[in-house]
């Protein structure tokens, strides 16, 4: 009888996850750049029109949710692979109803 403990994970599984993580690192950089550009656009729009753009606000919220899921996966805190391996996640939280300034 073999008394060696069985490993719950194989090196090939670790290698595959590492490969997927390496693919998502530059994607995460694009997500971060998209969030920054969306934020800058939103403020320029706000200065010009004195109101925010709701479609841009909703888009930014979805991109932030996707970025959160990517970070959870690459930091080994979530097992579900991010989009495009699964469906694009919906909003984690709805935006606040009204934008307020101090």
Q: Which pTM does this prediction carry?
A: 0.73
pLDDT tens column, 30-84? 999 999 999 999 999 999 999 888 899 888 988 998 898 889 888 888 888 776 6
Specify the length of the chain in residues: 102
Looking at residue 6, what is its pLDDT? Answer: 62
DSSP code, position 92: S
Looking at residue 90, what is its pLDDT? Answer: 66
Q: Going by C-beta distance under 8 Å and a sequence separation of 6 or more, which residues neighbour residue 99?
A: 52
Indicate the pLDDT class of residue 5, thresholds 50, 70 and 90. Answer: low
Looking at residue 94, what is its pLDDT? Answer: 72
What span, in angstroms and rounded, lies between the C-alpha atoms of 65 and 59?
10
Angle, helices 11-49/54-74, rounded to nearest 10 degrees: 160
Looking at residue 8, what is its pLDDT? Answer: 82
């Amino acid at each position: 009888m073999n008394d060696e403990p069985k490993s719950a994970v194989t090196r090939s599984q670790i290698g595959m996850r590492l490969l997927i993580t390496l693919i998502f690192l530059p994607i995460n950089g694009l997500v971060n750049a998209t969030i920054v550009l969306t934020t800058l656009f939103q403020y320029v729009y706000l200065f010009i029109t004195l109101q925010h753009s709701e479609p841009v606000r909703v888009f930014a919220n979805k991109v932030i949710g996707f970025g959160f899921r990517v970070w959870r996966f690459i930091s080994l805190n979530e097992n579900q692979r991010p989009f495009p391996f699964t469906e694009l996640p919906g909003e984690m939280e709805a935006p606040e109803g009204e934008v307020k300034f101090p």
